[in-house]
Structure 1
């Protein structure tokens, strides 16, 4: 679509299925929080009759779903990094993503994290496509965790804050993925903010045969091992529980944690969703030690959907059955919570069943897609289909 291409009238846009572009500046698919979130959203919107395009990096793990189309940046030979955070290649991929978005057009662009809204804003110069920004996090809370050294981390904090005050305002509407993020986005200058929590597809948490593990109990962490996840707190807690096993699952390398020498531990590096599901089914409880989370820990819904009570740092806790909140940065409290529940298997299983029933009945992607669709149509009506 060129800059001079005709824009549909608001009434025409509001009365027909939309072309929704999910701008995702990361590998896709992958069993990581943001990727799982985008995947579930794309499927649900497509099932409502919309044309959904995921624009993402060239690489990923496994195959995308048939319900939506995927447009990728050109591959970079030898580059297959799945980890979040900055590197020297990603700016090239983000520039390529902007070019793809400029050629793609669409009725609305739903841009995730921080690089994708920048790419979408550059593309909008040509397409005039409205942008909905999705706040998975803030850079002020995360960017510095990718660096070492007091000086460098201090600079990263300031850069992160500058990004927070700039990038969300590029969009026509901001989407908070829990109620607590709404005032944060308003403070960052977003005039239009709506909270729509993430959902879950019951098919993704369907019962399965548990993986074979040595005798438990087992505590599972499934997600990326980046510094902002505060896995050192979990590791500290597990040293206090020598009879309880730690099962850590990630699509990225777990070598750092493997070298800690925890006596009863399994470290599984996989991007296979079915394997992850069977490993979750073999665990007794889950742990989520992340202390700061402006967005929504997607792994929390997956854990609860699999019937796992989840010991959760208060910074990531959400008011859902099965969430056991513990103080931030408190390894002793985390260990005590794990001990309480693994020593009471009948109560633990009952809490897990309650968690699963609630998530499946109240947190479906089918219901969330209706809310998202309302946001998109409101944005199109307000902008007359133009960014």
Structure 2
């Protein structure tokens, strides 16, 4: 098969979607198929979220995809997220190519988080719901990265027979280099490196591992309480409540520097305002604690919001991300958006680190076994979980080791590729059968049967 993988975004890039697409391209090629990556290309300084410059890039993306489909005799278009899906549906309609939509998130959930004004958020939510209802169901088939997203798409009109849930899974790359060495507690694993070729043809194999739990949409433990109301991610009153003064100070164990690490982008849906407020509570109990935000993105307004003990590090390579994870005592995932799959969590697990995650982003974690899960929006519970782990080296080691074991099975990645390959074959077979039926009726002059 000849596949066009389409992503409306810069490439290569550190972001999770780009990493996932690169790994899929490598894996599908490894199964004997021809894969062409169609992206924005290497675009420096791209601001996330909706803005006018993306429209021009999307127009170029449509032209690039059409040219690739025609020139490379593409059999099927595999589109990741909404702008790529819209471009792919346009090109697919003109060229009579089937389209598989790969959903990474529900737009009604994510789009409002790029805005601050209440009216803008309401309008963004309505637009997101409209796109959720009309874009995915127009594809020949849909893949969702989580069961939560799959349920949203089914409610928005995607037929159950036209949708499956396939979570990312472990794609081993030089695995031995990332396993703990003798005498070491854990060894960090870098996020998969993007290819060097940013154009339509993809590029070299990624390094490292892209890791995920083996199943899609693991249910949260029953003892995780219902989420508290969410708060705006960038409204950051960092002054400590007066009641904090009476709290007992906690001291990290002798092996801990009290270093907490977040690795990922700085977009609104990451809920970083919540993280900063929670960390202020951590500092009230562990004055020496430090929080490092490791990112590829420019800090922008977030730099003005950080409080004492917080550092923003703009990583220039995956090696730097790996080093920062290695140095951390606790790693965090504050994201409360439930439909997506946070790729950072997989790197945390691969690095063998103790994780504190909001319930919305705790994909594949088991509370108290492979990490600590706290209710969405509960700053006190989030801070308490971090403080507890900073004060308990044995618990950190136990959770980190269990998290790493949970993502080490290389068979899971082969299963993901086999399922995606089966989707391709089924879609092409269905399209071929429909085409043959149309030709038969056209040649005989008989009308096609209408559904009852």
TM-score (norm 2): 0.73
Correspondent of 2:16 among 33, 44, 57: 33
Q: Report the 3-state secondary structure (helix = DSSP H, G, I; strand = E; otherwise coil) of the residue aligned with 1:295.
A: coil
Query: What's the counterpart of residue 13 of structure 1?
Result: none
Query: Residue 151 of structure 1: CA displacement?
Result: 2.0
Looking at structure 2, the residues matched to 290 and 136 of structure 1 have their Cα atoms a distance apart, in angstroms, of: 15
Query: Residue 83 of structure 1: CA displacement?
Result: 3.5
Query: What's the counterpart of residue 413 of structure 2?
Result: 365
Query: What's the counterpart of residue 446 of structure 2?
Result: none
Looking at structure 2, the residues matched to 42 and 230 of structure 1 have their Cα atoms a distance apart, in angstroms, of: 30
Q: Answer whether contact 2:38 2:61 (CA < 8 A) is retained.
A: yes
Q: Does 1:194 align with 2:157?
A: no
Query: Residue 204 of structure 1: CA displacement?
Result: 7.8
Query: Residue 210 of structure 1: CA displacement?
Result: 10
Deviations 1:2-47 (A, max 9, x none): xxxxxxxxxxxxxxxx212110000112111211211221122122
Within-5 A mapping of 1:196-215: 196-203=166-173, 206=178
Q: Structure 1 residues 224 and 363 mapped into 2: Cα distance closer, same or farther (>3 Å)?
A: farther
Q: Report the 3-state secondary structure (helix = DSSP H, G, I; strand = E; otherwise coil) of the residue aligned with 1:249.
A: strand
Q: Does 1:288 align with 2:317?
A: no
Query: Residue 58 of structure 1: CA displacement?
Result: 2.3
Q: Structure 1 residues 276 and 300 mapped into 2: Cα distance closer, same or farther (>3 Å)?
A: same
Query: Residue 209 of structure 1: CA displacement?
Result: 7.7
Deviations 1:82-128 (A, max 9, x none): 34211111111111111111122212111111100000011113321
Which deviates further from its counterpart, 247-256 or 296-305? Answer: 247-256
Q: Answer whether contact 2:189 2:351 (CA < 8 A) is retained.
A: no
Query: What's the counterpart of residue 271 of structure 2?
Result: 230
Q: Structure 1 residues 265 and 148 mapped into 2: Cα distance closer, same or farther (>3 Å)?
A: closer
Correspondent of 2:48 among 77, 84, 89: 84
Q: Report the 3-state secondary structure (helix = DSSP H, G, I; strand = E; otherwise coil) of the residue aligned with 2:11.
A: coil
Query: What's the counterpart of residue 307 of structure 1?
Result: 352
Q: Structure 2, unaligned stretches of length 5 or more?
A: 180-186, 191-254, 436-452
Q: Does 1:104 align with 2:68?
A: yes
Q: Structure 1, unaligned stretches of length 5 or more?
A: 1-17, 61-79
Looking at structure 2, the residues matched to 102 and 255 of structure 1 have their Cα atoms a distance apart, in angstroms, of: 36
Q: Structure 1 residues 100 and 386 mapped into 2: Cα distance closer, same or farther (>3 Å)?
A: farther
Q: Answer whether contact 1:40 1:200 (CA < 8 A) is retained.
A: no
Query: What's the counterpart of residue 423 of structure 2?
Result: 375
Which deviates further from its counterpart, 176-185 or 202-211? Answer: 202-211
Deviations 1:111-160 (A, max 9, x none): 11110000001111332111111111111111122223222222222111
Looking at structure 2, the residues matched to 269 and 253 of structure 1 have their Cα atoms a distance apart, in angstroms, of: 7
Q: Does 1:220 align with 2:268?
A: no
Q: Structure 1 residues 151 and 261 mapped into 2: Cα distance closer, same or farther (>3 Å)?
A: closer
Query: Residue 289 of structure 1: CA displacement?
Result: 1.0
Q: Answer whether contact 2:276 2:306 (CA < 8 A) is retained.
A: no
Within-5 A mapping of 1:121-140: 121-140=89-108
| RMSD, aligned α-carbons | 2.3
Q: Answer whether contact 2:172 2:410 (CA < 8 A) is retained.
A: no
Q: Report the 3-state secondary structure (helix = DSSP H, G, I; strand = E; otherwise coil) of the residue aligned with 2:65.
A: helix
Q: Report the 3-state secondary structure (helix = DSSP H, G, I; strand = E; otherwise coil) of the residue aligned with 1:384.
A: helix
Looking at structure 1, the residues matched to 78 and 21 of structure 2 have their Cα atoms a distance apart, in angstroms, of: 10
Q: Answer whether contact 1:134 1:176 (CA < 8 A) is retained.
A: yes
Correspondent of 1:266 among 285, 307, 311: 311
Deviations 1:176-225 (A, max 9, x none): 112232221111111210111012334388255899xx972211111111
Q: Answer whether contact 1:30 1:271 (CA < 8 A) is retained.
A: no
Looking at structure 1, the residues matched to 16 and 140 of structure 2 have their Cα atoms a distance apart, in angstroms, of: 24
Deviations 1:275-332 (A, max 9, x none): 2122112112211111122121111111111112221111122233523210111111
Corresponding residue pairs, total: 349
Query: Residue 252 of structure 1: CA displacement?
Result: 0.7
Query: Residue 359 of structure 1: CA displacement?
Result: 0.5
Looking at structure 1, the residues matched to 189 and 32 of structure 2 have their Cα atoms a distance apart, in angstroms, of: 35
Query: Residue 385 of structure 1: CA displacement?
Result: 8.2
Q: Report the 3-state secondary structure (helix = DSSP H, G, I; strand = E; otherwise coil) of the residue aligned with 1:221.
A: strand
Looking at structure 1, the residues matched to 306 and 56 of structure 2 have their Cα atoms a distance apart, in angstroms, of: 38
Q: Answer whether contact 1:82 1:252 (CA < 8 A) is retained.
A: no
Q: Does 1:275 align with 2:323?
A: no
Query: Residue 364 of structure 1: CA displacement?
Result: 4.5
Query: What's the counterpart of residue 395 of structure 2?
Result: 347
Query: What's the counterpart of residue 298 of structure 2?
Result: 253
